[in-house]
Chains A and B, each alone.
Chain A
C-alpha cells in the first residue's frame, strides 16, 4: 500500500521508515497546546506510521536548558525506540557544562540551537563549544533559521557552515518563508555541510520538490515541529509532494536515520 493510499484509507503507513527531525515536547507558555506530552505524541506517530522523532523539550528551548535537557533525556528514556533527544544549548546557560553533562549520553543524537529565542546570534562566540563538539564527533546541529531574523537568518547560517565545514548543520524551517526557502537553497548549494529541514507554517510540496531538485534528496529532511505545530501538516506536504519514491523515502527518514548514526562511528 502506498503512503498516499494509507492516508486515503485512514490507516497508518507502514512502507517507509519516517523519522521526524524536528520535534519538541511539553507545554509552551505563549499558546495552548492540547496534549503536549510524549504519550500523545507517540499516539499521533502511531496514527500516521511515524517511527521516530528527534526532540528538544519546550522547557529547554524556551526557558531552562539544564532542567529542559534533563526533561528531554527522561522522555527519551521512557520511549527510546521512538525518541532521540536534541541537546539544547542556550548560549547564556553554560554551553560547556551542558555539553559536558550530556555529550556522551546516547539519549541525545543532535544539538538544538534557537538563536531567535535566546536573543543571541548563531555566529556568536558563545556557541564555539557547540561547533567544536559537532566537528569532532559528527553530531548534527539543528538550528532555527528564519529569513530576516537578526539572530539566525540564512547569511548567518551560511557563515557558520563556512567557518565549520566539518559540521553537519540542519537549517530548521529552511528559512521559514518563501524568500527564506530560496536563500536556504542557495546557501546549501554553496555549503555541502548544510542541510534543509522543512517544517514550518509556509512550506509547500512544490517548495520541497524544489529543495530536493536543487540540493539533492540526501540533504533535505522531514521535520514537523510537533507538538508546536501538528505533525500531520508538514508530513502531508512531503507525502503528496510528487517526489520520486526513493527521494521521498530519503526525505521522510532515510537521511535522518543516517545522520543519527554518528555515535557508532565514534566507537569504531
Chain B
C-alpha cells in the first residue's frame, strides 16, 4: 500500500497542472496505485493560509482517502487564531510550513510556542527543503524530540548538508518527493534505517511516477519498501490519533 505524504490540491501558477480538483487527485492516485494522500491546498501556500486551510477541510470532507494538512504561520499577527486546537477539531492530520515563501523564521522566537503546541498535539511537521536551512531544521527538531519533522524536496544536492543533521536528530524524516540523489535512498536507509523515509510524490507539480519508480525499483527489501510506502507515515499519524 502507498500513502502519499506530500500532495496538494488547487491550481499552480507556474505549471499546467489543471484545476487541482479532488476528482483529479483521486484519478491520479488510482493511476499510480496510491491508497491515501495527505493534502494541503495551494491557496494556503500562495494566497492566504487561513482561507486555504478552510478550503482543504471543505474539499476533503467525505473523502476518506484524503487527509487534510494545514499550513501554519507565526501567531504574531493573529492570522491563524487557535491554530492547533482548530486543526485537531477539524481532523487535520499534519501541519506544513513555508517559512521562505511566507517570510518568517521557523526556528525563531515567533513560532516557538506554536511549534511546541504542534508537537504536543502529535501533528507531524512537513517542510520542503528549499523553504528552510538545515541548521534551522535541526534546531526545531532538537528542541522538540516528540515532534516528527518530515523534509521533502531534497533534490540531489543536499545529502552533504542533511547527513549530519539526520545522524544527530532522530525525529527528522525525509520524504521521497524529488529525493533524487543517485543511490541516495539506499544510502539513507543503510545509514539511518528505513523508518526515517516516507513515500511522497510532490504531486501535482511533480510527477508521481518519479517517487513510485524510485521506491519500487530500489535495491531495498520488500519490508523496507512497505515501511516507506505507508507504514512509517501511519506510525506518525497514529501519534496524532493518540494525542487527539
Binds A, one of B37-45, B47-55, B213-221: B213-221
- Which residues does chain B contribute within 8 Å of A205, judged by CB atoms? 207, 209
- Which residues does chain B contribute within 8 Å of A195, judged by CB atoms? none
- Which residues does chain A contribute within 8 Å of B178, judged by CB atoms? 201, 233
- Additional 20 contacts, C-beta under 8 A, given A233-B213, A236-B210, A241-B209: A7-B213, A8-B33, A10-B216, A10-B217, A31-B157, A31-B159, A32-B163, A32-B181, A34-B186, A40-B182, A47-B219, A178-B14, A203-B207, A226-B182, A229-B180, A229-B181, A230-B183, A230-B184, A233-B214, A236-B207
Contact surface of B with A, Cβ cutoff 8 Å: 14-16, 31-33, 155-160, 163, 178, 180-187, 206-210, 212-214, 216-219, 222, 225
A237 touches B182 (CB 8 A): no
A236 to B15, CA, bound (A): 20
B159 touches A32 (CB 8 A): yes
Residue of A nearest to B159 (CB): A32
A239 to B123, CA, bound (A): 36
**Closest-CB distance, B244 to chain A (whole angstroms):** 35
- Which residues does chain B contribute within 8 Å of A206, judged by CB atoms? 16, 207
- Cβ contacts A to B, 24 pairs, < 8 Å: A7-B213, A31-B181, A33-B156, A33-B182, A34-B181, A34-B183, A35-B183, A43-B219, A44-B182, A44-B219, A47-B217, A47-B218, A201-B156, A204-B206, A204-B207, A229-B156, A232-B217, A233-B214, A235-B213, A237-B210, A240-B31, A240-B32, A240-B208, A241-B209
A48 touches B217 (CB 8 A): yes
B213 touches A239 (CB 8 A): yes
B209 touches A230 (CB 8 A): no
A227 within 8 A of B: yes
**Closest-CB distance, B173 to chain A (whole angstroms):** 19
A241 to B159, CA, bound (A): 29
**Closest-CB distance, A177 to chain B (whole angstroms):** 9
- Which residues does chain A contribute within 8 Å of B16, judged by CB atoms? 178, 206
- Which residues does chain A contribute within 8 Å of B207, judged by CB atoms? 203-206, 236-237, 240
A47 to B184, CA, bound (A): 15
Residue of B nearest to A241 (CB): B209
Residue of A nearest to B187 (CB): A34
Contact surface of A with B, Cβ cutoff 8 Å: 7-8, 10, 30-36, 40, 43-44, 47-48, 178, 201, 203-206, 226-233, 235-237, 239-241
- Which residues does chain B contribute within 8 Å of A239, judged by CB atoms? 209, 213
Q: State whether A233 and B180 are in contact (beta carbons under 8 Å apart), knowing that A8-B216, A48-B217 are contacts in the complex.
A: yes
Of the residues B155, B159, B216, contact of A7 by C-beta under 8 Å: B216
A240 touches B183 (CB 8 A): no
A201 to B129, CA, bound (A): 14
- Which residues does chain B contribute within 8 Å of A235, judged by CB atoms? 213, 217
- Which residues does chain A contribute within 8 Å of B15, judged by CB atoms? 178
